[in-house]
A and B are shown apart, each in its own frame.
Chain A
Amino acid sequence: MRFERSHTRKAVALAVVSSLVLFTAACGGGDDGSKGNTGSAGGALEGRGPIKFATGKDTSGNLTSQVAAWNSQHPDEKVEITELPESADQQRNQLISNAQIKSTEFSVLNLDVVWTAEFAANRWVTQLPEDQFPDLGKLLPSTVATGKYRDKLYAVPVTSDGGLLYYRKDLLDKAGLKPPTTWPEMIAACAKVKALPEGKAINCYAGQFEKYEGLTVNFSEAVNSAGGVVVGDDGKPNVDTPEALAGLTALAEGFKTGFIPKAAITYTEEPGRRAFQDGNLLFHRNWPYVYALANKTDGSSKIAGKFGVAPLPGLNGPGVSTLGGHNYAISEFTPNKATAADFIKFMSSEERQKANVEKTSQAPTWASLYDDAALNKQFPYLAPLKASIGSAKSRPQVVKYGDVTTAIQDAAYNTLKPNGTDPKTALKDLQTKLSSLITQ
């Protein structure tokens, strides 16, 4: 028995060792093929044929009809939609995995506005010659800026997004007030509404303050609305300023004085929307999608028809929204770049954008659509939204965006949470961190 056992063990050990050697040899040799240079000249977009369009889960339900319109006109260059998960993080991961193996699977990529720099710097998307996209001038300039990396165009904006101030029109009317345009006005308005018998239990204001991307958006809005910047026009971070301090302090004071309810530190878009819909909030900062949901008369919203929208208030003047939205880019590795470019032009055209906004209420990037009388009647928030997007600032356009947004969230969250740090120290630390992360 003893012999047999050691014998077997030896055989096992040998099998293990020799196979390990084989495996290491195999994996050692596998990775070196990626050294070849695939620099993109950004010139010719060539190649035609059927392509695949990678996009996040289409919650609007209208994308198929948009693509069908293209397919009926281009039978030889059909576009197939590949739906990625709903979560932005997972979309990004999947697009990156595909790019890292230089897959030709996807041709047109639907990118969140904050991914442009990362995808461009990694040469995962092709540089687009601006002269081939003559309609760029008719899009809102702030949205076009999100498609650029180092002044070169990599993506074309198709949908946009901007923050809006939702307010309880019924309560403001009762108190004889107009929607506030500044932060102090908003505080005063809330005090007046709270003096009314109907407004006794209502909370004043909430945005998105949970530690996630929404906090970066809300922090940037507070800083920008107070006249500060997170990253300046020269591409350098500049948050250790009196303006940025005033912006962050306003939020921190809001939490301290109860102007912002304590629970708002856990709010993402949805819990905030629910609080507003349940009639627990007088003012609420959120995206345009809330409008349709809060107006539903099926009982899910207690405030249908009782609210209005206005541009975000600033500290002492009009507020500055943070820009959201999606841009379409062409994968560096697709053989059919000409088709992809045509498809992007098609999707960003006035006709398609109009068709899309009519069906989905997604904010268009085509400037003149915001002045369309029929659309304005259908979506009364278009006018404030145009003001919001028109003056909106994009988040830092940096390659290491993930690290930058984490640093911002750390600073903002640690200040706003109960017994948080002093805003001045937080901004000073943030400046140091951002400076080491953004070295362009």
Chain B
Amino acid sequence: MSESASAVEPTPGKNVRRTSFNEGTGRLAALLLSPTLIVLLLVIGYPIISALRESLYTSGGIGDDGFVIEGTRFVGLDNFAAIFSGETGDRFWNAFYNTTFFTVTCVVLETLLGVLMAMVMHKAFKGRAIVRASILIPWAIPTVVSALLWKWMFQADGIANAVLGTQILWSTEGWQSVLSVIVADTWKTAPFIGLLVLAGLQTIPDEVYEAAKVDGASPWKTFTRITLPLVKPALLVAVLFRILDTLRIFDLPYVLVGPNKESVETLSILAFLEANQTRYGPAAAYATLLFVYIVVVAYVFVRLLGADVIGDARASKPKKNGKSKDNQLPPGTAAATASGSLAAGGGGL
């Protein structure tokens, strides 16, 4: 509580010149916001700062008496320097490449399939409820469980080989393990995009389609000229979430293929493995690098495509000024979204 008081009090003093109306509203707004802000600081701000701090320290080392030297030592940016040097550097860049590759491939596939699923779910036909439910099942299954399911199917004597009539050893290094992760991830999360796009589709009024029909537009034209532009805001948010999510992919490669497999090693896995060896400094450094990477990707995505993540920018301004500065998201939004997703991921670790 003391934090909220100290956080709010200084503001009125600084804004004495403002009219009383604005001052009162501002103070009220700050007061009303402060509980949320404090919760955000606790669950997002504190972990980030704590991780940043941790990444500058190291611990361990064995003394001559055979015991581990106690306490942590400040090492500055040494943990980061170590990540980029020598064999560790190769490993890092391999993981970086894998993370990026998974993100691009999976998100593209998931978007295509997700939109397709949404179109199917949106159509009115007999048994629609069953189709909708079955499409959503993969999304409802926890990732680790689905990883185990797919592991089982991808075993040497599993159903994947039986159906394909092959003898592929899916969990060994190489394209097959990469493919197995992509298949499992797409299977699991395409419904997520489908769900969000479906929500977007349902807001499109029927009149637009009727007008298109009257004008004699082909189904493809209707899709590219009407459906896509109108569903774009929802689609972009879905894709952004998937990008942020896939950048920190961990469970699928770790459980489905296994740790220390070069082909599918991602940045999250590196951070986890370091932490597992009680080297929290380097682990925090990996996590920080991943965090920065996610922030940058999210920022670029939001700037380039103008994804309307929070929705208020559009509400406060008419659509005409779409490209004006105020309509862009403040940079903080991207970071907040990214850190939110990272914090969620951190919980899993």
Contact = CB atoms under 8 A, between A and B. Distances in A.
**A complexed with B:** yes
Interface in A264-318: 265-266, 271, 274-275
Nearest to A30: B50
A121 B67 contact: yes
Interface stretch (A15-23, A158-166, A239-247, A333-341): A15-23
Given A15-B33, A19-B7, A19-B41, A402 B70 contact: no
A399 interface: yes
A149 B62 CA distance: 13
Interface stretch (A2-10, A129-137, A351-359): A2-10
B178 to A, nearest CB: 15
Given A262-B169, A402-B277, A7 B18 contact: yes
A12 B30 contact: yes
Given A8-B30, A23-B49, A211-B261, A3 B18 contact: yes
Contact of B53 (A27, A121, A123, A399): A27
Interface stretch (A189-197, A369-377, A403-411): A403-411
A300 to B, nearest CB: 16
B202 interface: no
A266 B169 CA distance: 7
Contacts of A440: 62, 66
A44 interface: no
Contacts of B33: 8, 11-12, 15
B172 A417 contact: yes
B346 to A, nearest CB: 15
B23 interface: yes
Given A3-B18, A19-B41, A123-B68, A266 B26 contact: no
A42 B72 CA distance: 25
B100 interface: no
Contact of A16 (B23, B41, B53, B276): B41
B90 interface: no
Contact of A14 (B11, B38, B50): B11
Contact of B49 (A24, A211, A403, A406): A24
Contacts of A37: 70
A11 B30 contact: yes
Nearest to A18: B7
B53 A20 contact: no
A346 interface: no
B288 interface: no
Interface string B12-49: 00110011001101110110011001100100011001
B37 A19 contact: yes
A23 B71 contact: no
Contact of A400 (B70, B172, B277): B277
Contact of A266 (B7, B67, B171): B171
A212 interface: yes
A122 B261 CA distance: 29
Interface in B260-306: 260-261, 276-278
Interface in A12-62: 12, 14-16, 18-20, 22-24, 27-28, 31, 34-35, 37, 39
B156 A20 contact: no
A96 interface: yes
B233 interface: no
A4 B19 CA distance: 10
A236 B156 CA distance: 38
A322 B277 CA distance: 23
A149 B37 contact: no
A121 B49 contact: no
A5 B11 CA distance: 13
B172 A18 contact: no
B131 to A, nearest CB: 35
Contact of A35 (B3, B11, B70): B70
Given A3-B18, A7-B18, A265-B172, A34 B49 contact: no
Interface in B140-163: 155-157
A16 B62 CA distance: 41
A409 B260 contact: yes
Given A14-B11, A263-B156, A266-B169, A23 B258 contact: no
Contacts of B27: 11
B311 interface: no
B68 A399 contact: yes
B18 A121 contact: no
A100 B71 CA distance: 11
A3 B18 CA distance: 8
B192 to A, nearest CB: 28
Contacts of A274: 157
Interface in A213-244: none
Interface string B164-180: 00010111110000000
Contact of A11 (B29, B70, B173): B29
A7 B21 CA distance: 12
Nearest to B2: A22
A399 B14 CA distance: 57
A14 B172 contact: no
A123 B260 CA distance: 29
A210 B62 CA distance: 31
Given A14-B10, A15-B34, A20-B45, A263 B66 contact: no
Contacts of A22: 3, 6
A14 B26 CA distance: 13
- Counting chain B CB atoms within 10 Å of each CB, the highest count among A34, A35, A211, A275 belongs to A211
B8 interface: yes
A374 to B, nearest CB: 39
A39 B63 CA distance: 13
A11 B26 contact: yes
Contacts of B14: 10
5 contacts: A8-B25, A27-B53, A121-B62, A406-B260, A418-B172
**A-B pairs, 4 with minimum CB distance:** A263-B156, A11-B30, A15-B7, A7-B26
Given A18-B3, A93-B276, A266-B155, 7 more contacts: A3-B22, A4-B26, A12-B30, A19-B41, A27-B53, A263-B167, A265-B172
Interface of B: 3-4, 6-8, 10-11, 14-15, 18-19, 22-23, 25-27, 29-30, 33-34, 37-38, 41, 45-46, 49-50, 53, 62, 66-68, 70-72, 155-157, 167, 169-173, 258-261, 276-278
